[in-house]
Structure 1
Amino acid sequence: MVYYFTAKTTTSTNNELSDFTLDGYEDENTITTHIIYMGKDKFENDPLIKNSNPKNIWFHVDNHSSAHLYLQLTQEQILEWKSFDNFKIDEYLLLQICQLTKSNSIKGNKLNNISICYTPVENLYTDGSMDTGTVTFKNNKQVKRYNIAKRDNSIINKLNKTKIEKSTEEFLKEQDLFNRELMNERKRLERESKELEKQYSNQKLKNSDPYGDLFTKENLENSSNDRRKENWDEDDFW
């Protein structure tokens, strides 16, 4: 089984009317939802690692046993991905995920000042020789850490209220659909890019020879004396 949680972040609006909004009212346009998921137990780790998008972000309590949590990235985030070094997670979202990760560690949940490590799924390594649920990193430089001073029950309780459970088969289908849609979108963007390059190349050629269109085969034939009517008049030129 796979557990899903929904975290929310709010982007502040800096418009002239923001000072006049009613207390407790939130503009829906400023709220962004984020999907977090984790396996029910360590036996779910392998299918989640193998079938999650490589750019999704994996979380774990550093140096302690804990559940493996994942942040599902959006199509836009993946398509705009340049590197993990340049990838930024909203600070409050990061806090929520790390608090949830801490709460899903038997030992880590009881400790203060613990570190949560996170890295893209593509940086995880596991094979048949390792214990069930165990992973390591391909590149330790691609691992970031976030310190949690202590448990924040208000954050954890809020996230737990959004918790839903799905079968592993449902997870696999959703990830497969997401990845296929992502591939189609990437192909569409590539086609658009090639079309823009073609237009740019044609425009560049046209700018280098602004009179080039006047000497196309069709225009030359239309202006040829051989194509004039027998009763043509000189006034046709004026």
Structure 2
Amino acid sequence: MVYYFTSRCGEYTIYVGKDKYENEDLIKYGLPEDVWFHVDDLSSAHVYLRQKPGEKLDDITEDLLLDCSSLVKANSISGCKMNSVYVVYTRWKNLKKTNSMQDGAVSYHRPDNVRRMKVEKNKPVVNALNKTKIEDHHPNLWQLQQDREREMVDEKKQVKKKQIVEERMKQKERNLAAQKTKEYHEEQEKGIDAQIERTRLENLNLSDDDDSDESEGSLLGF
């Protein structure tokens, strides 16, 4: 069984496994957008926040962090009795699970990517979240993961297709610019050739005039 909650922001889903055995499935069948929350150094539920595709940890608002951390504190047998606890959170994909670990236990691929925050007891937040609670007795977590993986493959294909189209357009623009540059240089060369030809003809005309003057001078006896 998985419990689903709607954040007070109304835009995000938070979900929790019923027990440590359910947590095993959540660890195994998470999505890339999921963020995992747990009370540090104490037993607690595994609380997950499902972010929007493309969002980062820094995109989690303070109110959303408060929702998740308050919920995980309230679902800790020891932590719920304390005025404050520390909560850790990280990306689902950063969770590391080995065969030697007990049910519900995890470590991290990259401990540096785990964040830690202090959380005070906050009944109003927990009560507000509990009013949105929905139970799913038989969630097909595997299918959800498969569907998301297919979506990601399709998204990558679309991105690749878009990149190819954009590259073709850029190449077309480069070819057009190169053609215009070539035509410009050809026109410049034609202009230079024409100028050279005009200069040559002018020089020939001047030479003919000089020859004519010399001929006339000879006839006059100069």
Does TM, scored on the shorter chain, surpass 0.5? yes
Q: Which secondary structure does the structure 1 equivalent of 2:49 belong to?
A: strand
Offset at residue 55 of structure 1 (A): 4.0
Corresponding residue for residue 63 of structure 2? 92
State whether structure 2 residue 18 is matched by structure 1 residue 48.
no
State whether structure 2 residue 166 is matched by structure 1 residue 188.
no
Q: Which runs of 5+ in 2 are unaligned?
A: 184-222
State whether structure 2 residue 156 is matched by structure 1 residue 178.
no
Corresponding residue for residue 5 of structure 2? 5
% identity of equivalent residues: 36
TM-score, with normalisation over the residues of structure 2?
Answer: 0.75
Q: Which amino acid in structure 2 is aligned with residue 153 of structure 1?
A: K
Equivalent in 51, 66, 73 of residue 102 of structure 1: 73
Q: Which secondary structure does the structure 2 equivalent of 1:75 belong to?
A: coil
Q: Which secondary structure does the structure 1 equivalent of 2:180 belong to?
A: coil
TM-score, with normalisation over the residues of structure 1?
Answer: 0.71
Offset at residue 56 of structure 1 (A): 1.4
Provide the rounded CA distance (Å) in 2 between the counterparts of 1:116 and 1:109: 12
Q: Deviations over 1:141-177 (max 9, x none)?
A: 01001211x2111110111111111134433323322
Residues 180 and 167 (structure 1 numbering): CA distance in 2 closer, same or farther, change over 3 Å?
A: farther
Corresponding residue for residue 133 of structure 1? 104
Corresponding residue for residue 57 of structure 1? 35
Contact 1:34 1:71 in 2 (8 A): yes
Q: Which secondary structure does the structure 1 equivalent of 2:3 belong to?
A: strand
Offset at residue 187 of structure 1 (A): 1.7
Contact 2:25 2:141 in 1 (8 A): no
Q: Which amino acid in structure 2 is aligned with residue 133 of structure 1?
A: G
Structure (1 or 2) with the greater helix fraction? 2
Offset at residue 125 of structure 1 (A): 1.0
Offset at residue 73 of structure 1 (A): 2.1
Equivalent in 8, 11, 16 of residue 38 of structure 1: 16
Q: Which amino acid in structure 2 is aligned with residue 49 of structure 1?
A: I
State whether structure 2 residue 95 is matched by structure 1 residue 117.
no
Equivalent in 69, 77, 85 of residue 47 of structure 2: 69
Contact 2:33 2:53 in 1 (8 A): no
- The count of residues paired between Structure 1 and Structure 2 equals 183
Structure ID, larger Rg: 2
Offset at residue 208 of structure 1 (A): 2.6
Contact 1:206 1:212 in 2 (8 A): no
Provide the rounded CA distance (Å) in 1 between the counterparts of 2:15 and 2:146: 16
Q: Which amino acid in structure 2 is aligned with residue 36 of structure 1?
A: I
Q: Which secondary structure does the structure 2 equivalent of 1:106 belong to?
A: coil
Provide the rounded CA distance (Å) in 2 between the counterparts of 1:212 and 1:202: 15
Provide the rounded CA distance (Å) in 2 between the counterparts of 1:209 and 1:8: 59
**Residue pairs, 1:150-189, within 5 angstroms:** 150-189=120-159
Provide the rounded CA distance (Å) in 1 between the counterparts of 2:141 and 2:109: 25
Bigger mean CA deviation after superposition, 175-184 or 118-127: 175-184
Q: Deviations over 1:89-134 (max 9, x none)?
A: 1111011110001000011111123111001111111122111111
Offset at residue 211 of structure 1 (A): 6.9
Provide the rounded CA distance (Å) in 2 between the counterparts of 1:53 and 1:69: 13
